[in-house]
A and B are shown apart, each in its own frame.
Chain A
């Protein structure tokens, strides 16, 4: 059995890849899948903090690639879900620490270990790290913000996914592309100063798999090292749950894309 490889990528930095990787991996684990999430951001380890396992990192991705540790030794088991594992990025400054053969070996090892999904948290940019994160992917979640430079960069990334990946090179079927619009603010869209879901879909020519609203709880979640999908009360958490369900093939309507209608008491008393 081979694991499905999902890359979370964007081109532009700081748009929500790591936030998304953590919630996607956790959501897949909640759905009963055996999941590993790998931080490809060599030199800038961050996924461990968002997953809340930063103090349990002993070995990292580069150690496994270089044969200094086994996959079993380096995979950090999640505290909350026993079928979820994290592979931390190396803090080395050597950007060439990862090689295509090395990454392939690790991913093959995960298939052998019976993982259903491997989520690859890509670094920003279109350099080597981003290339390696996407190269072996079967699915891509392209994270985009409703903002001009992010939209343009995501189009670049969609082009690279269609040409510079193993699937593209071998011609064995295109990567399944999922566009995820995050940090969405319906009130600003209503005011005409933010691109709408429809605008972004039209410009890029693909439909969104989900829309994650700009939400205060995302910062609270990262502060506490708990992926926001586990905050079932928060709009962002619920939107991530919907997104994971859609990636798994379920149909769910979009939520949190319109300005919240105020209830009677709010309208009368304000707030």
Chain B
């Protein structure tokens, strides 16, 4: 091992990366648990529509099903890429 290796910043431990990834995916799966089966499909189709206007990745789309007193609310959030104004609709 050369002296340069000592000077380089230590990479993030993989366990920390694992924990963060699990935190997100577990939360997402819990929120859609027991939700309608069409949800993943709907998410994909929504992505196609949104992509016509803004460049976003599927990771930017979050679907939640909230249940409160008798009714269900489908919550959709799209994290828009920052700094960029929305593209003009493709025709």
Asked whether B15 lies within 8 Å of A152 as measured between CB atoms, the reply is no
Q: Does B3 contact A (CB under 8 A)?
A: no
Which chain A residue has the least Cβ–Cβ distance from B16?
Answer: A192
Residues 122-164 of A contacting B (Cβ, < 8 Å): 148, 151-152, 155-156, 159, 163
Give CA–CA (A195, B23) in the complex, Å.
12
Asked whether A152 lies within 8 Å of B22 as measured between CB atoms, the reply is yes
Residues 22-74 of A contacting B (Cβ, < 8 Å): none
**The residue from A156, A163, A199 contacting B19, defined by CB atoms under 8 A apart:** A199
Asked whether A156 lies within 8 Å of B29 as measured between CB atoms, the reply is yes
A-B contacts at CB below 8 angstroms, number? 42
Chain A contact residues (Cβ within 8 angstroms of B): what range? 10 to 19
Q: Does A97 contact B (CB under 8 A)?
A: no
Which chain B residue has the least Cβ–Cβ distance from A194?
Answer: B15
Residues 1-42 of B contacting A (Cβ, < 8 Å): 13-16, 18-19, 21-23, 25-26, 29-30, 33-34
Q: Does A193 contact B (CB under 8 A)?
A: yes
Asked whether B22 lies within 8 Å of A203 as measured between CB atoms, the reply is yes
Say yes or no: A195-B19 contact (C-beta < 8 A), given A159-B33, A163-B34: yes
Residues 178-211 of A contacting B (Cβ, < 8 Å): 189, 191-196, 199, 202-204
Asked whether B13 lies within 8 Å of A192 as measured between CB atoms, the reply is yes
Give the residues in chain B near A203, CB-CB below 8 Å.
Answer: 19, 22-23, 26
Shortest Cβ distance from residue B19 to the other chain A in the assembled complex, whole angstroms: 5
Give the residues in chain B near A163, CB-CB below 8 Å.
Answer: 34
Asked whether A196 lies within 8 Å of B30 as measured between CB atoms, the reply is no
Asked whether A192 lies within 8 Å of B14 as measured between CB atoms, the reply is yes
Asked whether B30 lies within 8 Å of A155 as measured between CB atoms, the reply is yes
Give the residues in chain B near A152, CB-CB below 8 Å.
Answer: 22, 25-26, 29
Give CA–CA (A25, B22) in the complex, Å.
32
Which chain B residue has the least Cβ–Cβ distance from A199?
Answer: B19
Asked whether B15 lies within 8 Å of A192 as measured between CB atoms, the reply is yes
Asked whether A196 lies within 8 Å of B33 as measured between CB atoms, the reply is no
Give CA–CA (A195, B14) in the complex, Å.
9
Give CA–CA (A91, B23) in the complex, Å.
39
**The residue from A151, A191, A194 contacting B22, defined by CB atoms under 8 A apart:** A151
Give CA–CA (A163, B30) in the complex, Å.
13
Residues 77-91 of B contacting A (Cβ, < 8 Å): none
Shortest Cβ distance from residue A174 to the other chain B in the assembled complex, whole angstroms: 16
> Which residues on A are within 8 Å of B, measured CB to CB?
148, 151-152, 155-156, 159, 163, 189, 191-196, 199, 202-204
Offer 10 A-B interface pairs, CB within 8 angstroms, sorted by A: A148-B22, A151-B26, A152-B25, A156-B29, A192-B15, A194-B15, A195-B22, A199-B15, A199-B18, A203-B19
